[in-house]
Structures are given as structure tokens and as C-alpha cells.
Structure 1
Amino acid sequence: MPHLTTHVLDAATGTPAAGVALTLTAADGTPVATGATDADGRAGLGPDRLAPGDYTLRFETAAHFAARAVETFYPFVTVTFAVTDERHLHVPILLSPFAYSTYRGS
């Protein structure tokens, strides 16, 4: 299992957001990994271990809403977080056209 996993749930419909493109970058903007959510809205990214430091996970949300002909205020969502140890990281988002939330999952 990669060190980092994510899950995107479309909170407006109560369904997983499949096919959301993802990009993980280091603090200096260096790309670390790319991927997309699966049919269950889940994805694993990156190497087995991320080095300590700050990272940004970008969720390309515009295409998800465009495919449903839904207007959105957020064409993408970025979540910046710190890696401080070797514990597994789970960075999910709850997504709607005009709001989102995130938390450190397990």
C-alpha cells in the first residue's frame, strides 16, 4: 500500500467521485505522483514512504462536475499537509459544487 491514500465522496449526491485526476507534489512543486480515483472514489499515490516535509495533493474537480452538467465554484481543490513520520496518510475530501472539507483520515 502506498504511504498516501485518498477518497473523494460527492457529498451532494452521496456517491463516490470516480475518475478525479490527482497530482501529488513536494513543497517546491516537484511532482511526486499522479493518479485518479477508482470507481469507489479511492486512490493510492506515491512511493511506499514519503520523506518528511510538506506536500500538496491537487484534486481536479471541474471534470467531475462538468460530466454531470453541474456548475461548480471549485475547478480544483488543493490540500497541503505535512509528513512528519512513517504513519500511513489518508487525505480524503467531501466534495460538493460550492464547498469541500477535508480531514486526516486513518
Structure 2
Amino acid sequence: MSQIVPTMSAQAFATALALRPNLVAWFLGAGASAASGIPTGYSMIRDFKAQIFCRENNLSKREIDTGDQVWVDRIDDYFRRTSLLPPDGDPTEYAAAFEAVYLLSLTEN
């Protein structure tokens, strides 16, 4: 059974939004947030890994360049050789990296 999706003109939408802004919700995909400068999950994992790599190797984050492929490869190789985080692409990778960075920070303070 097919359903008809209701549509409205741009003018009707603008009027409805102006009159009842609390009735409109925006559903945006990851591309919209990435385009506006909000880090993607992948870029956050890369940053978490860099922070953990620096901590475990007694380096300052200023000593590495996460935009340089040499450092990206070193960090990736480090995590492939250790069991600090789940493997790349694992569904728990983001959560494990987040916890490794922020929960340790909380316990250190």
C-alpha cells in the first residue's frame, strides 16, 4: 500500500515555522554537521586515538601532526599492536576510545 507524503510550498512552510516554531523538528544527517564544522564520529575516534597514543608514549599532542600520514600510520600501527582499543571498525570502538580518554581524565583529577 503506497502512502502519499504531504508537501507544502516554501511560503507555507515559512509561515508555519514562524507561527509555531516548537512544532518543527530538524532531522539532519552527518554530512550536514560535518559541513558545518562539527567533528564526525570518525574524526573524533582519530583524535581520541592520538590522545591515547601520546599519553601511552609520553608525548605532548603538540609533538605529533595528526594531519601527517606518517603520524596517522604510526598511531594506527600502535593500536594494531596493542589491545588498548577494539580493532578499527568495531562497533564499540568509539565508546571504548571515548572512555579511555575521558574516564581516565576524571580519575586523574
Normalising by structure 2, report the TM-score.
0.24
Give 1 or 2 for the bigger CA radius of gyration: 2
Higher relative contact order (CA 8 A, sep 6+): 1
